[in-house]
Amino acid sequence: MAREKSDSANVKKAAAEKKPVEKEIPAAVSPASTAKEAAPAPEKTAAAKKKTAPAAKEAEPTPKAAPAAKEAEPVKKAAPATKETEPAKKTAPVAKEAEPAKKAAPAAKEAEPAKKAAPAAKEAEPAQKAAPTTKKAEPAKKTASAAKKAEPAKKTASTKKKTASADKRKAKAPVAEPENTPVVAEPAPVMEESNLPRRSVAFIGSECHPFVKTGGLGDVMYALPRELARLNCDVRVILPRYACIPQEYQNKMIYRGEFYMDLGNTGRSYYVGIMEYIWDGVVYDFIDNEEFFSWGNPYTNLVDDIPKYCFFSKAALAALNYMNWIPDVVHCHDWQAALVPVYLRTLFKGSPVGRARSVITIHNLRFQGVYNIPTIKYWSGLPDEAFGMGALKQDWVEANMLKGGLAYADRITTVSGTYAWEIQTSEYGERLEDHLRYHSHKLRGIVNGIDYGMWNPETDPALAENYGLGNVLDHKMANKLALQKELGLEQDTGKFVIGLISRLTNQKGLDLVNAIVPQVLDGNTQVVVLGTGDKQYEDAFRAYEGSYKGTFSACIQYDEGRAHRIYAGADALLVPSRFEPCGLTQLNAMHYGTLPIVRETGGLKDTVEPYNEFNGEGNGFTFDRYDAGLLLDAINRAKSLYFNNRYHWDEVVQRDMAKDVSWEKSARQYKDLYLELTQW
């Protein structure tokens, strides 16, 4: 009884020591000066009050970490600290101050083995929590190390042989708990993430699912920030407030403030409104201006898009200053946000946000934002130094917005390792290969992932029957039959079904597909096409549907639900791209147990290993040169394995479903990149 009182006294003492620390950080938040564009001080105060809401929101994951509440504190404290210049410095001391208090309890308890075991288990937890960061086989290793840490508790128990047998039984029971890893390790991810170094990151881009999406950029802007939030990053996503954003999201946006900002050499001040939407640990801030964003589509033509994205890039940085939320890293995407690093090092250099480091990601090098120098100089207002040959200037008379961003950014990333190498060659460099080779020391390739919340055959509501790795062979055929019925194809599980989900353009290798369709349709094969694009391909695939009724289906549209059903119902997915920075369709297909047939380029080469018939290794079928005959050969190799060796085909299906194609690994690489840039 005396020991229990001593326990509670120590706990209260530790809590009392920590309370001043909690109060100290909010008090230390200085009202940092905002940019020239910022509104008067009263408006800043209102914005600062509202900022506390997102901070509290981001601390939500910590309740899962109840067993080790002390470790969760850095998350709580780091959120306000992101307003300061050096959040990392604020977080580290707090974590160190909390540790002695944590260790004080076990020190006082050495005389009591039963209670000693509980702190030992807590200390072992961070090791167990590291399991999700590595391969799935590693939790066992981590458990072993955790058990070793708990061993001193056992030894202490054995030394107290003079204690009563009832006390011995009490001592042994808690000690055995750390060995029960499957149970203890359940809440592991939150614990481990809360201990990671904290960084604040502002994502700036032109689209993001589910608000507005035209391609893979929208998926990345949605999934990557969410995964980074799980890794203890404080993330904001800054987007234009397009009129085409669905009303259900518009209605949930909260007004954060407004100010006026000059733009280029126009001689005018432009309204900048900030509307905020908080979802799943990520704050989305929308830049509001009807003059630029009231049109139906995010992209129209360069004449209109150049002014729009000059305004957006500058307003995004001005909004960060206005909200007094200064990130450690500004991460911008594609040419639409490429002027952000240029503004950061020129017009915003002396403002609070000018202290941030910058990263620019190339999602597709083909699109660069090239226009004549006078127009871009007029709308951007950038100084003459930014229009040198080493920055925006191209071909002496043009300005290239992406080229300028690459020159001024601290780091350049692209969406796969192979594509990072390819864009430094004349074949794939889109006339920027020399510029990229010059900046190659800043260039990194990090392959994309897919969001398992959106793409999961076990829970996907669009499927006829859900399935997972354990029962894919039993339920995938039901999805094939449902797909055949939906599209008017002959219902036969013995048919080999090939899916193609793509934008119908030359980049996607559709000229190769168009050339071999009659040879592919041999009586045992069906082809399903889903997508829109160039009229020549839309018409060609409609013609094939008319000629091969019941065997070829052309869905000239984009239907998200149908795409899910094709991934689940097809046996193979075709991705014969001329070039492919990363590609997400092959990752979706693998996760749904559909084998990819791809050309070895960009992210396709990085994610699909060719099947080897001699040792059974590999997870798909590939061809190298851009040639219709080689594509047909790859399809025939897939069909041969499917019809002649179904056992090995099924092995590859299960191997693909077991492969980790989530965002977790990629997000950790981005987090490491941010830490590399912000070493303090």
Reading the block at residue 287, the tokens are 């830049």
| Whether the predicted pLDDT of 280 surpasses 60 | yes
| Whether the predicted pLDDT of 100 surpasses 90 | no
Mean pLDDT of 637-642: 97
User: Strand 525-530 to strand 496-501: parallel, antiparallel, or no bridges (unpaired)?
Assistant: parallel
The span from the CA of 460 to the CA of 454, in Å, is: 8
pLDDT digits (tens, 9 = 90+) for 372-388: 999 999 999 999 999 99
The three-state DSSP-derived secondary structure of 154-193 is: HHHHHHCCCCCHHHHHHHHHHHHHHHCHHHHCCCHHHHHH
The span from the CA of 136 to the CA of 155, in Å, is: 31
Q: Which residue has the higher pLDDT, 401 or 163?
A: 401
pLDDT score at 517: 96
Please check whether residue 314 is in contact with residue 262, taking contact to mean a CB–CB distance below 8 angstroms: no
Q: Which residue has the higher pLDDT, 551 or 216?
A: 551
Q: Which residue has the higher pLDDT, 214 or 612?
A: 612
pLDDT score at 194: 54
Question: Which are the contacts of 360, defined by CB distance < 8 A and separation ≥ 6?
Answer: 331, 332, 333, 337, 338, 340, 341, 405, 406, 409, 411, 412, 413
The span from the CA of 445 to the CA of 670, in Å, is: 10
User: Strand 329-333 to strand 357-362: parallel, antiparallel, or no bridges (unpaired)?
Assistant: parallel
Please check whether residue 194 is in contact with residue 62, taking contact to mean a CB–CB distance below 8 angstroms: yes
* Nearest C-alpha neighbor of 218 from the set 205, 230, 209: 209
Please check whether residue 436 is in contact with residue 468, taking contact to mean a CB–CB distance below 8 angstroms: no
Question: What interhelical angle do 69-81 and 87-108 show, nearest 10?
Answer: 160
- Give the full edge-to-edge strand order of the sheet including 329-333: 254-262, 269-279, 282-288, 233-240, 199-204, 329-333, 357-362, 411-414, 443-445
pLDDT digits (tens, 9 = 90+) for 223-251: 999 999 999 999 999 999 999 999 999 99
Question: Which are the contacts of 575, defined by CB distance < 8 A and separation ≥ 6?
Answer: 502, 508, 509, 583, 585, 586, 596, 597, 598, 599, 604
pLDDT digits (tens, 9 = 90+) for 318-357: 999 999 999 999 999 999 999 999 999 999 999 999 999 9
pLDDT score at 214: 87
Q: Which residue do the tokens 């394995």 mark?
A: 641
The span from the CA of 274 to the CA of 290, in Å, is: 12
Question: What interhelical angle do 87-108 and 113-129 show, nearest 10?
Answer: 150
pLDDT score at 43: 40
At residue 78's C-alpha, the angle toward residues 75 and 79, to 5°, is: 90
Place 15 in a pLDDT band, splitting at 50, 70 and 90.
very low
Domains (ranges, CATH) in the chain?
A: 37-128+136-194 (no CATH), 199-446 (3.40.50.2000), 472-662 (3.40.50.2000)
* Nearest C-alpha neighbor of 678 from the set 428, 444, 308, 358: 358
Q: Which range is least confidently modeled, 228-237, 293-302, 372-381, 406-415?
A: 293-302
* Beta pairing partners, 371: 399
Most confident of 4-8, 173-177, 267-271: 267-271
| Whether the predicted pLDDT of 108 surpasses 50 | no
| pTM > 0.95 | no
pLDDT score at 680: 66
The span from the CA of 513 to the CA of 397, in Å, is: 39
Report the percent of the chain where pLDDT is more than 90.
Answer: 68
Q: What is the mean pLDDT of the chain?
A: 79
Mean pLDDT of 267-277: 97
Mean pLDDT of 453-468: 95
How many beta carbons lie within 10 A of that of residue 676, not counting itself?
Answer: 12
Q: Which range is least confidently modeled, 111-115, 418-422, 529-533, 665-669?
A: 111-115
The span from the CA of 115 to the CA of 591, in Å, is: 45
The span from the CA of 65 to the CA of 129, in Å, is: 11
Mean pLDDT of 68-81: 38
SS3 497: strand
Please check whether residue 297 is in contact with residue 325, taking contact to mean a CB–CB distance below 8 angstroms: no
CA dihedral of residues 204, 531, 604, 565 (deg, nearest 10): 100
Report the percent of the chain where pLDDT is more than 70.
Answer: 71
The span from the CA of 121 to the CA of 176, in Å, is: 9
Q: Given CA atoms 575, 581, 586, 588 in this order, what sign does their dihedral have?
A: negative
SS3 2: helix
* Nearest C-alpha neighbor of 299 from the set 371, 398, 365, 213: 213
Q: Which residue has the higher pLDDT, 112 or 664?
A: 664
552: enclosing H helix or E strand: strand 552-555
Tell me what percent of the chain is helix, strand and coil, each rounded to the nearest 5.
55, 15, 30
Q: What is the DSSP letter of 600?
A: S
Place 281 in a pLDDT band, splitting at 50, 70 and 90.
confident
| Whether the predicted pLDDT of 526 surpasses 60 | yes
Question: Which are the contacts of 495, defined by CB distance < 8 A and separation ≥ 6?
Answer: 484, 489, 524, 525, 526
pLDDT score at 60: 41
Place 389 in a pLDDT band, splitting at 50, 70 and 90.
very high
| Whether the predicted pLDDT of 487 surpasses 50 | yes
